[in-house]
Structure 1
């Protein structure tokens, strides 16, 4: 069964800088249906035009500027891109998850941003790194405690690799979070800080079990932070894996 799949464009950041249109054309040629920009404010009209011409959807969008002084400018850019999902990708560091009081402040920040996003018809999400799972509160991962404090409309984009690096049983986390998970970032490789990433199914991640645990409608977004070999070859192999994942048992 064909599975809709996307690429976070950070994976091909250097290729984009050299030839954006040609890079997007290559992704479409590999069978990807959608892309996720890593900075929504970088020429959203131009990116939308090329994506539309290639039959690519902008499924969601990151912006490092959401925590800055003008989140409305981000929301306007995301609206131009044509997606309804805007995601905080970075900027809330370890101390934002170090204890329940810190988590309340973090949730308040995200809930306030979600109210602003809603004025533009957008839903706000949060993308994790490893420290949200390394930190535990009363025996639970801080990321899961945070979920309890977030407004219902705030969703999570679980970066499965970073969660594993933080010590999480990722299929279990995804199962427990349920419909709060609207997107997955899928990486593979040795689960070690600084390790190069590989095509899905070629490393140590239990990706098939994660996919089986995820809500049916959750976005499947491939992202390779680094890659020792040809990144497009790894993306092609990852796309094939998503079409026919291994038996999750």
Structure 2
């Protein structure tokens, strides 16, 4: 069995990373990490690449929008960058797989919407290949709300994407969506490139019909291994996982201490190299 490599989604430390890339990456290297997952890299790829090189780290995966025409920001929606710009920036930053991190929940409620998402990702995969790159998709919980002929929107999506498209399964959000997370991890099979290692208290799916809008401040997330998510069982259910990506949507204490605690859990459980 080949164990995955530990990584961390830099969005977990978005404020610290944006304020001082070098210092933040040096702290991650001191913890023992050698890989990270980039976010918001399209407009700052050269800066990120230099900071990574200086700290002795690499970003084999990165998050960027590929499947939406607009991107929500606190200042309002803005057009997403052209896929060509995304892939050019990824190549500069050293990213090998560009992963779309979020698609509007409403698009997951109809067969037409789900099929369009899959078709767009297949098209993106074709273009990415011309840059020597791969693409993938990262879930939240909205992908598991609608069912078509007894199959969830997420399962329909996975069945329609090209075999070369990678999956990054967020174990926390899959659990919030009431999925049997170890079974789902096993079901995805060889295309499961990465998992997001995230733990916390159980909660109702905020994208289910009638649910109040998600308030990120209300999230109760904990160090890996101390919450309700069957992280170890899920990771042991699939031997294809290449990266175990630590993430906090809301870090409970000092984010670097929180990352170190989850990193220690992964090693103590024998879940990573």
User: TM-score by structure 2 length?
Assistant: 0.84
Distance in 2 (CA, whole Å) between partners of 1:8 and 1:22 is 16
Aligned to 1:203: 227
Distance in 1 (CA, whole Å) between partners of 2:105 and 2:125 is 21
For each residue in 1:44-102, what CA deviation from the matched residue of structure 2 results, as whole angstroms up to 9, or x when unmatched?
12211221222211120111366335111110000011121011112x22222223332
SS of structure 2 residue aligned to 1:37? strand
Match of 1:228 among 247, 252, 268: 252
Contact 1:97 1:132 survives alignment (8 Å): yes
Gaps of 5+ in 1: none
Question: Following TM superposition, by how much is the alpha carbon of 1:246 offset from its aligned partner in structure 2, in angstroms?
Answer: 7.9
* 7-16 or 137-146, larger mean C-alpha shift: 137-146
Aligned to 2:52: 51
Contact 1:2 1:243 survives alignment (8 Å): no
Equivalent residues in 2 for 1:106-185, closer than 5 Å: 106-185=117-196
Question: Following TM superposition, by how much is the alpha carbon of 1:191 offset from its aligned partner in structure 2, in angstroms?
Answer: 2.2
Distance in 1 (CA, whole Å) between partners of 2:265 and 2:81 is 41
Contact 1:189 1:197 survives alignment (8 Å): yes
Aligned to 1:105: 116
Contact 1:196 1:225 survives alignment (8 Å): no
Q: 1:69 to 1:29 in 2, by over 3 A?
A: closer
Aligned to 2:85: 73
SS of structure 1 residue aligned to 2:244? strand
Equivalent residues in 2 for 1:20-39, closer than 5 Å: 20-39=21-40
Contact 2:22 2:55 survives alignment (8 Å): no
Distance in 1 (CA, whole Å) between partners of 2:42 and 2:66 is 8
> How many residues were matched structurally?
246
Distance in 2 (CA, whole Å) between partners of 1:119 and 1:3 is 27
Which portions of structure 1, spanning 4 or more consecutive aligned residues, are displaced by more than 6 angstroms? none
Gaps of 5+ in 2: 69-79, 207-217
Question: Following TM superposition, by how much is the alpha carbon of 1:138 offset from its aligned partner in structure 2, in angstroms?
Answer: 2.4
Q: 1:69 to 1:35 in 2, by over 3 A?
A: closer
Distance in 2 (CA, whole Å) between partners of 1:55 and 1:88 is 26
Aligned to 2:99: 87
1:187 lines up with 2:187 in the alignment: no
SS of structure 2 residue aligned to 1:36? strand
Q: Report the structure, 1 or 2, having the larger helix content.
A: 1
User: TM-score by structure 1 length?
Assistant: 0.92
